């Protein structure tokens, strides 16, 4: 969408619906996920930057939504993608009930470094996940950049016994990731970069600095399928496709990205529909046997009515969409 003409705002608003999806467990400090979904010539698409994000950041998410709704998707190389389960920062006792929501997933991403918790909480949670998954399951952790280098090194040492597949965004800054990668090299635990890619002015810097072993890529924050594929190609690192707690429509965008990658070495973080108790379609895009089909959901009016946001939230989101559309128009000249 970087050079293509924008669809008129009226065309976007014509089908736009604001939805609010309840979560089965608190995740990322929210209990309800809000989004705008609308239909373009290529099908339904989604605009769902988190509410705390500025318009300047949210504009990129709208570019992705318009790209997916109005432009043909890249050629798919596969019709299904393997996905991981996602474990919120819950108590260890809640791990089995969360994992039961994921059918056949053999990889789990565990949230760690939650505000208000301590490292012992993380150790207990990861231990419970490893016990549930057995020795053959894969366990990865995600700190969302919450640790400094010393804290991250200590945490990785404490969690290394659980045979980690990789550590996602342990520190916030690229130079911190580079330092940590050097410190823990002997442990042979890869570092994955997420925020250092999707929230960076220069998403390729982490690759140039040798600060990560792989990239976590998300279609919406990176501006769409075509932009994300270009970043992966230029970075020259393995990629894990993930979501931003999207509805099933947003997850279909991620699945299209994963389907288009030349190589897909890692299970994708696209199983998060299992965290919702309701979704935008009657049959949510959830993993079956550990894989997600590459398909495009088509919600009905009744589906969308069932999860419609209240009037105040609807107005808030549509105003945001209008502002971001105007900002995109300025960038396109």
Sign of the dihedral through C-alpha 168, 164, 159, 107: positive
Active site residues: 111, 218
pLDDT of residue 108: 98
Q: What is the DSSP string of 117-148?
A: --HHHHHHHHHHHHHHH-TTSEEEEE-TTBB-
pLDDT of residue 241: 98
List the structure tokens of 280.
């935008």
207 closest CA partner among 227, 240, 234, 172: 234
Say which CATH topology domain 80-293 has. TIM Barrel (3.20.20)
What are the φ and ψ backbone dihedral angles of 83, each rounded to 5 degrees?
-130, 160
Angle ∠(159,161,165) on CA atoms, nearest 5 = 75
List the structure tokens of 211.
């600060």
The radius of gyration computed from the CA coordinates of the chain, to the nearest angstrom, equals: 19
Integer Cα distance of 197 and 192 in angstroms: 10
Say which CATH topology domain 9-73+301-332 has. Enolase-like; domain 1 (3.30.390)
Q: What is the pLDDT along the chain (333 residues), one digit of tens a residue?
A: 445 689 999 999 999 999 999 999 888 789 999 999 999 999 999 999 999 999 999 999 999 999 999 999 999 999 999 999 999 999 999 999 999 999 999 999 999 999 999 999 999 999 999 999 999 999 999 999 999 999 999 999 999 999 999 999 999 999 999 999 999 999 999 999 999 999 999 999 999 999 999 999 999 999 999 999 999 999 999 999 999 899 999 999 999 999 999 999 999 999 999 999 999 999 999 999 999 999 999 999 999 999 999 999 999 999 999 999 999 999 876
List the structure tokens of 177.
């990731």
Buried b (16+ CB within 10 A) or exposed e, 283-302: ebbbbeebbbebebbebeee
pLDDT of residue 1: 41
Sign of the dihedral through C-alpha 169, 172, 178, 184: negative
- Count of Cβ atoms closer than 10 Å to residue 34 Cβ: 19
What are the φ and ψ backbone dihedral angles of 66, each rounded to 5 degrees?
-70, -35
pLDDT of residue 88: 94
pLDDT of residue 333: 63
Residues 1 and 65 sit within 8 Å (Cβ to Cβ): no
For CATH 3.30.390.10, the residue range(s) in the chain are 9-73+301-332
324 closest CA partner among 48, 31, 116: 48
pLDDT of residue 25: 84
Return all residues near 333 (Cβ < 8 A) that are at least 6 apart.
none
Q: What is the DSSP string of 164-207?
A: EEEEE--BSSHHHHHHHHHHTGGGT--EEESHHHHT-SSTTHHH
Angle ∠(264,266,272) on CA atoms, nearest 5 = 110
pLDDT of residue 2: 46
For CATH 3.20.20.120, the residue range(s) in the chain are 80-293
Three-state SS at 280: coil
């Amino acid at each position: 969408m970087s050079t293509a003409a924008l669809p008129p705002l009226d065309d976007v608003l014509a089908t736009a619906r604001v939805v609010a999806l309840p979560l089965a467990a608190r995740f990322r400090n929210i209990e309800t996920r809000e989004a705008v979904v609308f239909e373009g010539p290529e099908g339904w698409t989604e605009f769902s930057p988190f509410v705390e994000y500025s318009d300047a950041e949210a504009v990129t998410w709208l570019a992705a939504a318009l790209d997916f709704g109005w432009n043909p998707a890249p050629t798919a190389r596969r019709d299904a993608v393997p996905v991981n389960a996602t474990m919120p920062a819950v108590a260890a006792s809640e791990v089995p009930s969360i994992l039961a929501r994921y059918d056949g997933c053999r990889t789990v991403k565990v949230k760690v470094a939650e505000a208000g918790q301590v490292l012992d909480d993380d150790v207990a949670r990861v231990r419970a996940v490893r016990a549930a998954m057995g020795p053959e399951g894969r366990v990865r952790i995600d700190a969302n950049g919450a640790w400094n280098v010393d804290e991250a090194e200590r945490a990785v040492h404490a969690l290394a016994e659980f045979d980690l597949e990789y550590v996602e965004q342990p520190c916030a800054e690229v130079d911190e990731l580079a330092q940590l990668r050097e410190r823990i090299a002997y442990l042979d635990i890869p570092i994955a970069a997420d925020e250092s890619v999707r929230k960076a002015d220069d998403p390729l810097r982490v690759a140039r600095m040798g600060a990560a072993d792989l990239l976590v890529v998300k279609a919406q924050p990176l501006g769409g399928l075509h932009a994300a594929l270009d970043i992966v190609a230029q970075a020259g690192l393995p990629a894990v496709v993930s979501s931003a707690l999207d509805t099933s429509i947003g997850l279909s965008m991620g699945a299209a990205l994963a389907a288009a990658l030349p190589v897909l070495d890692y299970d994708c973080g696209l199983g998060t529909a299992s965290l919702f108790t309701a979704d935008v379609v009657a049959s949510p895009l959830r993993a079956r046997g550990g894989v997600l089909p590459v398909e495009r959901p088509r919600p009905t009016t009744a589906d969308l009515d069932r999860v419609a946001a209240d009037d105040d939230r609807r107005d808030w989101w549509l105003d945001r969409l209008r502002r971001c559309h105007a900002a995109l128009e300025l960038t396109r000249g």
